[in-house]
Amino acid sequence: MALHYVIVQQPANPAQLFLLYHGVNDNPNSMAQIGSWFAKAFPEAQVVAVGAPHAGSAPQGRQWFADIPAHDRSEQQGVNAVMPSFIESVHHWQQATGVRPEATALVGFSQGGMMVLEGVKAQPDLAGRAIVFSGRYATLPERATTRNTIHLIHGDYDEQVPLQHAQQAMQRLTALGGDVTLDIVDDLPHAIDDRSMQLALDHLRYTVPRRYFDEALSGAKPGDDDVIMMI
């Protein structure tokens, strides 16, 4: 499956990698606008918006899989079918930039957020950070890890992907021992606004991954290869 990429920022020697995944019937050009926030905040990062492989129902719209009602079994099947292409998009840019998974952040909105969640569920070592706007799992995870840190950002007026999905994901990941945060944005529908972006940037700047504490408690030296370099 051919994927289309929009490069937002391309430094000579990237220290971090941000990959952005759009929602259903959207395209990487619009997601690149979100990418500009990350590019400005992290000038040493490679920032790329990734276009889904399938045509959507809207003009110039793309999708990872056909839009399916929540809890329909075929939804997970649709995710699984396209997951190799999603994972390949991550590996492609990690190899092209030389940026390791620990310094990779996957950013997704709506269906793109589902792909990010399902991607790090399938391969926990895929990326160190996941920023998910208005997204949900196709199927809640049975296992969790602290090898990645997941930041859920969701509007309380979201009717397309109701807030309860993010709350359920938070509860499940926490119960399984995962590393997760949830921010609820007041009066926000199914969208990303300036408040959402500020929350995402603040987490990347200031939220210390739980794995650093785990490494310190075990006697190991915490790593310095996260999206945000520890000082």
For the segment 141-178, what is each residue's pLDDT rounded down to a tens digit?
999 999 999 999 999 999 999 999 999 999 999 999 99
Residue 227 carries which side chain, given as an amino acid letter? V
Tokens at residue 59, please?
A: 């003009």
For the segment 108-132, what is each residue's pLDDT rounded down to a tens digit?
999 999 999 999 999 999 999 999 9
Mean pLDDT over 43-55 rounds to 95
Q: How far apart are CA 111 and CA 125, in angstroms?
A: 21
Q: How confident is the model at residue 73 (pLDDT cuts 50, 70, 90)?
A: confident
Determine which of 90-99, 155-164, 193-202, 208-217 has the lowest per-residue pLDDT on average: 208-217
Looking at the annotation, which residues are catalytic? 110, 158, 190
Model confidence, pTM = 0.92
- Averaged pLDDT of the chain: 92
Q: How confident is the model at residue 56 (pLDDT cuts 50, 70, 90)?
A: confident
CB atoms inside a 10 Å sphere around CB 191: 16
In this structure, CATH architecture of domain 4-217: 3-Layer(aba) Sandwich (3.40)
Q: Which long-range contacts (CB under 8 A, 24 or more apart) does 93-102 make?
A: 93/17, 93/19, 93/46, 93/48, 94/17, 97/14, 97/17, 97/46, 98/14, 99/14, 99/15, 99/16, 99/17, 99/46, 100/225, 101/125, 101/126, 101/127, 101/128, 102/128, 102/223, 102/225, 102/226, 102/227
Kindly tell me if the per-residue pLDDT of 221 is higher than 60: no
Sketch the domain layout of the chain as residue ranges.
4-217
